[in-house]
Amino acid sequence: MNDFEFYNPVRILFGKEQLEKLDELIPRNKKIMLLYGGGSIKRNGVYDGVKKYLAGRDIIEFSGIEPNPTYEKSMEAVELAKKEKVDFLLAAGGGSVIDATKFIAAAVPYKGGDPWDILEKEAEVEEALPLADILTLPATGTEMNMNSVVSRKSTNDKLAFKAPAVFPQFSVLLPEAAGSLPQRQVANGVVDAFVHVIEQYLTYPVNAPLQDRIAESILLTLIEEGPKVYADPADYDAMANLMWSATMALNGVIKAGVPEDWSVHGIGHELTVFHGIDHARTLAIVLPGMWHVLKEEKKEKLLQYGEKVWNITEGSDDERAEKAIEKTVEFFESLGIKTRFSDYNIPAETIDRVVKNFEKREWFETGDRKLVTLDVVRKVLEDRL
Ligand code: NZQ
Ligand code: ZN
């Protein structure tokens, strides 16, 4: 097992009767900014709940945060927060609202000039406004990690940063509110969480059986519960299982002491930049290509995954690896998530644009063993034509 340090200070409040704790969790003297997206929280009871349980508190609102949140929109919130002297941010919605809120929290007290540097130049985040969130969409794991992904329209960028200062103080996880999700977002959530596990599990063996088994059990739970939630997002028990699985997939537990490889995400982000494709769908496109191109390098874990998750025990190594890839694609497609360029009308020229963006960022060798060269990126995408 590799050396590791584990730290996660996020208080989780999970279930049905949780919003009423907001009042005791946010200090009385705070000026609160409630941040949300296009209005889903007004239809699933979360907005009314916040108003009820924070009645009488000093609170302003900022809405309109987009899916794949932008720097441009976030900076409007930064200006407002400064003007109104806000000192507590409360995000309500999916990963996009929470990620934008993390960036805003870091940008308000940022002293180094343009806060975009936090994303582009990995400028250090020394402090941030305290933040918390109410999660209504199981997918990203952002509710229990210190990561944030923000896009900048004018420069075709979608970049991530991480900083301990933006760990939420607490996260309220509401499976009931997620019951209003459309099927498309449920499917996205299952696949995003699935690929998060894969990026921390399907690398190469380092003799870490506990981490492997936790990862495999999250994958098995997603395979079991995902289709139930997809069929009926209002199935509370299944949604609760999906929600906790998605949180566990990216809260730092399964990556402790093992290698990680986030190159499927890196390439996927570029497909969102150029074509606006939902995050999870980009992962479903890229992952099979990555496995085809790096089949030899990832073979040991691919075979382990095939056996433990899909029960594939017969055939040559190559046949079993191929079967594991096939089963994964079938699973994604059973949730209505397609896996090829043609399914999304992505032209072949996009491959050059993605490679150019990698070049611009000087991402010449990414992945767990620096195996993902520009040539590999190209081949992965060519596999998906
Ligand atoms: O804007 P509103 O009206 O709230 O509608 C949202 C949005 O249109 C809607 N929605 C959310 N909860 C709902 C609901 N609709 C009905 N009922 C509900 N209960 O769903 C739509 C999508 O929301 P969004 O927040 O964009 O989805 P998701 O949670 O999948 O977040 C995606 C973003 O997270 C980033 C992605 O790149 C993408 O930008 N990620 C963040 C990560 C992290 N911080 O750790 C890791 C991930 O790999 C990912 O990159
Ligand atoms: Zn993801």
Look at residue 52 in the predicted model and tell me its pLDDT: 98
- Compute, in angstroms, the gap from residue 143 CA to the centroid of ligand 2: 13
Q: Which pLDDT belongs to residue 177?
A: 98
Give how far Cα 179 sits from Cα of 21, 176, 336, Å. Answer: 21, 5, 18
Model pLDDT, residue 245: 99
d(C-alpha 115, C-alpha 24), whole Å: 32
Quick one: pLDDT at residue 229? 98
Residue 256 confidence (pLDDT): 98
> pTM for the full model?
0.98
- The protein residue with its alpha carbon nearest to ligand 1, atom 16, reads 181
Residue 242 Cα to ligand 1 midpoint, Å, equals 15
Task: Please name the amino acid found at residue 209.
Answer: P
Nearby residues of 30 by Cβ (< 8 Å), 6 or more positions away: 57, 58, 87, 88, 130
Give the Cα separation of 218 and 31 in Å (integer).
38
For residue 104, how far is its CA from the centre of ligand 1 (angstroms)? 17
Pocket test for ligand 1, best of 65, 73, 99 (most atoms within 8 A of CB): 99
Where do the domains of the chain lie, and which CATH numbers do they carry?
11-177 (3.40.50.1970), 181-382 (1.20.1090.10)
Sign of dihedral through CA atoms 161, 162, 166, 171?
positive
Distance CA 153, CA 71 (A): 8
Q: In 10 A of CB 27, how many CB atoms?
A: 10
Question: Can you tell me the distance from the alpha carbon of 307 to that of 114, in angstroms, rounded to the nearest whole number?
Answer: 49
Choose the residue to mutate in 34, 140, 242 for probing ligand 1, maximizing ligand atoms within 8 Å of C-beta: 140
- Give residue 116's pLDDT: 98
Per-residue pLDDT, 26: 98
How confident is the prediction along the chain (385 residues), in pLDDT tens digits per residue? 999 999 999 999 999 999 999 999 999 999 999 999 999 999 999 999 999 999 999 999 999 999 999 999 999 999 999 999 999 999 999 999 999 999 999 999 999 899 999 999 999 999 999 999 999 999 999 999 999 999 999 999 999 999 999 999 999 999 999 999 999 999 999 999 999 999 999 999 999 999 999 999 999 999 999 999 999 999 999 999 999 999 999 999 999 999 999 999 999 999 999 999 999 999 999 999 999 999 999 999 999 999 999 999 999 999 999 999 999 999 999 999 999 999 999 999 999 999 999 999 999 999 999 999 999 999 999 999 9
Report the separation in Å between the CA atom of 142 and the middle of ligand 1, taken as the mean of its atom positions. 10
Q: List all residues 6 or more positions away from 151 whose beta carbon is below 8 Å from its beta carbon.
A: 68, 69, 70, 71, 157, 158, 159, 272, 273
pLDDT at 103: 98
Alpha carbon dihedral 74, 80, 83, 86, in 10-degree steps, equals -90
